[in-house]
Structure 1
């Protein structure tokens, strides 16, 4: 059986910081908000409950879209800085990868 290639966390971190550099140009960028980390299932029948339980144990709120094979792991309110986003993105990615879900970006909502 072929081994899966290791996930490139360095490239993922670079992309997050580059994305944030673009967002920083917006004068309305919030200082706190809820960040949604998105993951796509590799398998046709992923273990939704297991990944949701593991993410919830670390404080993420999950929402699944079984039709799209995606899970949204929301965290916050949290500081909206590249360092804070990366810290939670890395943690959620490590958890998701263990269940064969792969990162598909992030989005955020300002804290109400």
Structure 2
């Protein structure tokens, strides 16, 4: 099944539209979450590919999720989507799928 980048992008832009009136930072580190879909997914390959593109990578203890952090970047829909789509392209190659993003705490 082909990934629906349009729907994913819409979700990111909708998040910013819905935040009108909320004070957002000018710059932030953004954490992009990816979950594993296949039991034999290449965790190490995925993590190394992300690191090669400048993401900091953390594997959660749930054995299902990888967090790819990038930034600080300008915190706006265009920049968040830019790095989200790049990480998603990598993820899909390794049987991982996007599961949203948030500002790094």
TM-score tier after normalising by the smaller chain length: over 0.9
Report the number of matched residues. Answer: 105
Which structure 2 residue ranges, 5 or more long, are not aligned? none
Aligned twin of 1:50: 45
For residues 25 and 68 of structure 1, the distance between their equivalents in structure 2, rounded to whole angstroms, comes to 37
Deviations 1:28-59 (A, max 9, x none): x1000000000000012421110011001110
Q: Which runs of 5+ in 1 are unaligned?
A: none
Please give the root-mean-square deviation of Cα atoms over the aligned residues, in Å. 1.3
The answer to whether 1:70 aligns with 2:54 is no
Indicate the SS of the match to 1:63.
strand
Please say if 1:21 is aligned against 2:13. Answer: no
Alignment of 1:1-112 (within 5 A): 5-27=1-23, 29-109=24-104
Secondary structure (helix, strand or coil) at the match of 1:84 reads helix
| Deviation (angstroms), 1:79 | 0.4
CA distance in 2, matches of 1:24, 1:87: 21
Q: Secondary structure at the match of 2:104?
A: strand
Distance 1:66 1:45, change over 3 A: farther
Q: Distance in 2 between matches of 1:66 and 1:81?
A: 30
Relative to the length of structure 1, the TM-score reads 0.88
